[in-house]
Amino acid sequence: MLKNFSAICLLLALFLTALIFLPVTKDNFLVKETVFYIFIGLGTIFSRQKIFADVDVPFLFFFLAILLSLWSASFPFLVLSFLWYIFNLYLGYSLARNLPEKFRQKIPDLLWLIGFLIGVYGLLQHSGFDLFLWASTYSGRPASSFGNPNFFAGYLVVMLPLLLADLQKKNYRLINLLIFFLLLLNLYWTRTRGAWLAAAVTAVFYFTRRSLVDKKRWSGWLAAALFLIVFGLALIFWPGLRTSPSVAERIFKWQTAIEMVRQHPFSGVGANNLKVNFALYQTIVREKNNLALRGTSESNVHNEYCQIAAETGIIGLFAFLLIFIWYFRRIDSQQNSPYSAAVLGFAFFSLTNFPLHIVPTALLFFVAMGLAQRPEENKDAGNFRLKVLGWLVFFVLLDWFLAIRPFIADYYRARGDRERDNKNYLRAIDYYQKSIELDREHSERTAYDLGEIYRLLGDYQKAIAAYEISISLRNYAELYNNIGNCYYLLSDLENARKNWQKAYELKMPTITDQKLLENNLRQIQKRLRKE
């Protein structure tokens, strides 16, 4: 049993990260990350194979680039948490690379089971039925067990080429055909255009490869037809896309990320630190346009390459791209076409979204790269028990700080929200404070909610203190405006003016809000001059 334990842990990680969610935490899908760390850690601890291989140099470069971003990071802890996340993805890749043949043969069946479950759940959501009352139903766009239609679509982009290859091996069995068709429908229902494009590119790649390997003309014609369809649709819809508000906002986010690269070209603003800096840099871009936004704070810019460049500089971007270059130069082959199509789909979807930051999609991507290689025969040298003990201590310490604590803190956030909604404000304050103490680096929203309760109770000094915790994590206009309001209610006009001025410089989300703030500044400046 222990001999196969690592392989079982990897399969459980794939299964659970795709399907599990937990309504008792504020982020119902944070548990995916928690179980990912637990099972990848357990699989690594009891693995008898080499963890590192000479061929994995590109991953080492990416680790070093992330570490280099500590140079300019406002919160080093966030850099280290991202490094731990990427390192665990690499461990998932390593476990997949060394997966015994009998477990490799189980992967397709596992993916079909996952596909059936997420496909049926997506169908129910599209039809207006759900097991849970989510904050958003996305107007019929299925999110399945992923929490967001875009996340679901990204997972399907990576998954479908792997299922398609197995479908052909199974001679198109009816049950598998139905599941595959159901997943294609779900991909369409998500209305995620970036995923459609990525899926089309992978289909062209896959069927072109099939025509070369099997010498079947129909595969080549199908690839050509898919290419013409995608190209034609792009020509038809691109002019409209450019004027779409959602596309305009996304391009604005990319431009903001590029502005960060200009000012921090080599080390970026720090891995995982984009949320701390976004509001500061978006003002530079908004000087050139008056785009109305839903908010001036952002954690992701919906382009993985822009995100990595902004956070880790051009060195980090090069290291990330090197992983794809390395794969297609060293690992790719005609026999690996399904895995290569999955890798290509991930790369294309990264142009319009952030699949590297979505645990189930990122794990499946890394596992696909690992499965494209054959297991190594050489086992780790040295004392196995000593190795287990060393890894155990290492994982327990890091997972406590980087996985378990955030999960407990998110549970407290959810309890705080429920008490607040029931108007039990003192109990809500207690839960929010516990959450902040456990996981300050991810508590920007919690600190804001705490400030709102204090403001509602009329304790403006404590409200300001809570808002300032939030500002230290997300430096954006709306919070400075709230702090200014609190100082105004405390009759501290000078501090009210300073914070309103800062909010004005960072720019409020809409032109109306900005004009209202401008009027407040004029009024308070008149009062200060009279005094």
For the cut 60, the answer to whether the pLDDT of residue 228 exceeds it is no
Q: Do 121 and 145 contact (CB within 8 A), yes or no? A: yes
pLDDT of residue 381: 47
Residue with tokens 């230290």: 472
Query: Please, which residues bridge with residue 49 across strands?
Result: 379
User: Which residue type is seen at 439?
Assistant: D
Residues 6+ apart with CB under 8 A from 142: 121, 122, 123, 125, 126, 149, 152, 186, 189, 190
Average pLDDT of the chain, as a whole number? 89
Q: Do 476 and 467 contact (CB within 8 A), yes or no? A: no
Confidence of residue 294 (pLDDT cuts 50, 70, 90): low
For the cut 60, the answer to whether the pLDDT of residue 232 exceeds it is no
DSSP string for 107-176: HHHHHHHHHHHHHHHHHHHHTT--SS--S--GGG---TTTTSHHHHHHHHHHHHHHHHHHHHHTT--HHH
DSSP string for 53-70: -GGGHHHHHHHHHHHHGG
pLDDT of residue 204: 86
pLDDT of residue 123: 96
Q: Which of 118-132, 189-203, 418-432, 465-479 has the highest mean pLDDT?
A: 418-432
For the cut 80, the answer to whether the pLDDT of residue 465 exceeds it is yes
Helix (H, G, I), strand (E, B) or coil at 49: strand
Helix (H, G, I), strand (E, B) or coil at 415: helix
Q: Do 186 and 156 contact (CB within 8 A), yes or no? A: yes
Q: Do 498 and 485 contact (CB within 8 A), yes or no? A: no
Helix (H, G, I), strand (E, B) or coil at 379: strand
Q: Do 312 and 267 contact (CB within 8 A), yes or no? A: yes
pLDDT of residue 133: 78
Report the percentage of the chain scoring pLDDT > 70. Answer: 88
Contacts 24+ apart (CB under 8 A), 226-235: 226/200, 229/200, 230/197, 230/200, 230/201, 230/204, 234/197
For the cut 90, the answer to whether the pLDDT of residue 51 exceeds it is no
DSSP string for 15-46: HHHHH---TTSSSTTHHHHHHHHHHHHHHHHT
- Distance CA(166)–CA(164), nearest Å, equals 5
Report the percentage of the chain scoring pLDDT > 90. Answer: 67
pLDDT of residue 290: 63
pTM given for the model: 0.92
Structural domains of the chain sorted by starting position, each given as residue range(s) with its CATH number in brackets = 2-381 (no CATH), 406-530 (1.25.40.10)
